[in-house]
Amino acid sequence: MAMQIQTAVVTGAASGLGRALCEELAARGAAVVASDIDLDGARATASALESRGAKAVAIQCDVADARAVQALADASREAIGDIDLVANNAGVAVGGPLEDISLENWQWIMDINLWGVIHGCRTFGPAMKARGRGAILNVASAAGLLCAPEMSPYNVTKAGVVALSETLHAELGRAGVHVSVLCPTFFQTRILENSRGPVDSRARKVAQKLMSRSSIQAPDVARIALDAAEANRLYVVPMQDGRTMWRLKRLGPERFYRLLGSKMVRRMLGS
């Protein structure tokens, strides 16, 4: 049975998918906490929602810090009441060959992409379980399902988010809490602007081209993701290319990865 979301917290809300999720939630009548480490960006999102008549609050939070996430939960509950949905959306990117990626960059992406989601689930999940209702939307990526070459830190964190979501879908579902994991492919965001690692300019150009050409962009992804969260669908793979590649992988995993590692495919991907 679909649930109605009346209150929501979105991390990484300053731009891109985070802002689109806030806008879609507000359009559905929810009061929204727009959270980001970039407080000015979060305030811009909240202000845009308020200008449309929605209730919105901006709260700064570094999701890598468990205490900061707890403070976010406490402040959100005080501002808009019990939280119906948390969208663990904040994320960053690191790419390049394994041997060229520093441990510092591994730590950075693990703290945000994986630990940030863990903190969000551990902080908001128990209150939802106690109430017998709520929804957790974890933003992963098709990278967490497909694991392409020269993206090892990003793949590892997103695969971890998929595994966590699968676990909690069963664990919390018994208590009436919906858990969904969002796995999109390419759409326009600012993730490349702040990415780290030795990714060459050609690969960046290819990724940017794929992002800009996608027929499904952030507002569409947000709508599809929230529909799935309300309906308690576990896997949310909004793009056809992601669904096709995931199906091919499941049909023949070893052959799939031999093809991904081939020179032809690497040339197509610009890596």
For 228-240, what is the mean pLDDT? Answer: 97
Beta strands in the chain (DSSP E): 7-10, 31-36, 56-60, 85-88, 134-139, 177-182, 235-236
We report the CATH number of the domain holding residue 65 as 3.40.50.720
Domain hosting 119: range is 7-269
* Domain-located, residue 2: no
- Dist. CA 124–CA 136, nearest whole Å: 8
For residue 267, name the pLDDT band (cuts at 50, 70, 90). Answer: very low
251 or 186, greater pLDDT: 251
Q: Is residue 89 in some structural domain?
A: yes
Q: Is 257 a catalytic residue?
A: no
Domain count, the chain: 1
CA 114 remoteness from chain centre:
10
Q: Is 254 among the domain residues?
A: yes
* Residue 18 pLDDT exceeds 80: yes
Q: Which tens digit of pLDDT belongs to each residue from 114-173? A: 999 999 999 999 999 999 999 999 999 999 999 999 999 999 999 999 999 999 999 999
Q: 58-111, pLDDT tens digit by residue?
A: 999 999 999 999 999 999 999 999 999 999 999 999 989 999 999 999 999 999
Q: Is residue 170 part of a domain?
A: yes
**Token digits of residue 119:** 């903190």
Q: Is residue 1 part of a domain?
A: no
Does residue 191 have a pLDDT over 70? no
Summarize pLDDT for 192-226 with one digit per residue, the tens.
567 666 665 555 555 565 555 656 789 999 999 99
Residue among 115, 154, 186, 187 flagged as catalytic? 154
